[in-house]
A and B are shown apart, each in its own frame.
Chain A
Amino acid sequence: MNNINISGAGKIDGGEYGTIKISGASKAQGDIKAESVRVSGSAKFTGTVQADEIRVSGSCHFDKSVKADQMSISGSCRINGEIEAEIIKISGTVVVDADINVDNFTVEIGRGSSFQNIFGDIVTIHSHVLVSAKEIEATTIDVDNLKAHRISGEKVTVRGDSDIDIVEYRESLEIEEGTKIRKVVKL
């Protein structure tokens, strides 16, 4: 399997790779399948990306869908397509324009991040600055400073300056004083 290492400016063609390491600026054209994608510079992916591991500590733009076992972003990222991953860890600014289907989703910091719908098992958003999402449906939801239309889960915790239109819970709900919730529904 091909490994690619770009430390200047470079172009990557669509295809199957082992490890893709980008520490410069690069553009990938075409659908990418890899074992590992590591970006510590800036990268733009115009096709779909499927990898066991995706690590971004720079800036990244994904034009289409992303599929990974583990995804960690500690820079800034914009993703225009759907994300499907087992584990997603974000500690940067991430804007996702489509749905996220994930097992375990964690946002720490998250300044300026915005999401559409997040569906999964465990969703944790602990951010100092407001993070926005449309709807979150998960088994366990623990959010701090989230602005959302609707969150729905088994065990839900809402803290900080969170501002949520509808909170649905099945088993337990913990709301910190000061949070703005317009409607609470016990399922």
Chain B
Amino acid sequence: MISKKDLLKQMDISYGQLYRWKRQELLPKEWFIKMSVATGQETFFDEKLIVPRIKKILELKDKYQFDELKNFFNIDIEKKKFDKNELYKVEDLDSYIITDFVKEKSELNLVDVIIIYLFSKYKCLNYDEYKDYDFSKLKLDSYFYLLEDDQKKIYMFIGDSNMIIDKKLVVKEKISFENISTTLANILKD
């Protein structure tokens, strides 16, 4: 946890900016956690969530209007349950993969849709070979890696942002689930 004061200092932002972003829903209200301390009540944040979000806001705020920025961090999308019929309409999602996912689950969450998106996009990975994998425990702070060995065989790997990978494998792609959810937010809003 990081205190509000330390956060402002670390990210070099002001109270005004912090609260404005909260009002604009770029920072979810739930992330502002009030806790009792010796001196009264202080606000704390989960560092793993708030710091990357603020970094992203600072990176994008001069390029986009605030309404457009909101689509990048569509907080609704993180809690949303997806209807399969809605997903079938999306060109970027392979219907064969959607059908297979839907067999096991009646409702799909964001991680499910991210996995569907990844296997739809990276056709070099044969989805049938990964059907039995349990992707359900993955978190939104995961990273997807596409690795290639010297025989040009492709492997997928899902882990943290700091993975130490054998140099004999070439990292062809490395994408964060957060980035994918941003892409999906833009695709799905249309």
Contacts and interface: CB of A to CB of B under 8 A. Distances in A.
Interface of A: 69, 84, 86, 99, 101-103, 119-121, 137-139, 153-154, 170
B23 A119 contact: no
Contact of B15 (A84, A153, A154, A170): A84
B122 interface: no
A170 B19 CA distance: 13
A11 to B, nearest CB: 31
Contacts of B22: 139
Interface of B: 4-5, 14-17, 19-20, 22-23
A138 B5 contact: no
B23 A101 contact: no
Contacts of B23: 139, 153-154, 170
Nearest to A104: B15
Given A119-B14, A137-B19, A139-B19, 16 more contacts: A84-B14, A86-B15, A101-B14, A103-B4, A119-B15, A119-B17, A119-B20, A120-B16, A120-B19, A121-B15, A137-B16, A137-B20, A138-B19, A139-B22, A153-B23, A154-B23
B117 to A, nearest CB: 33
Contact of A102 (B4, B5, B15, B20): B15
Contacts of A120: 15-16, 19
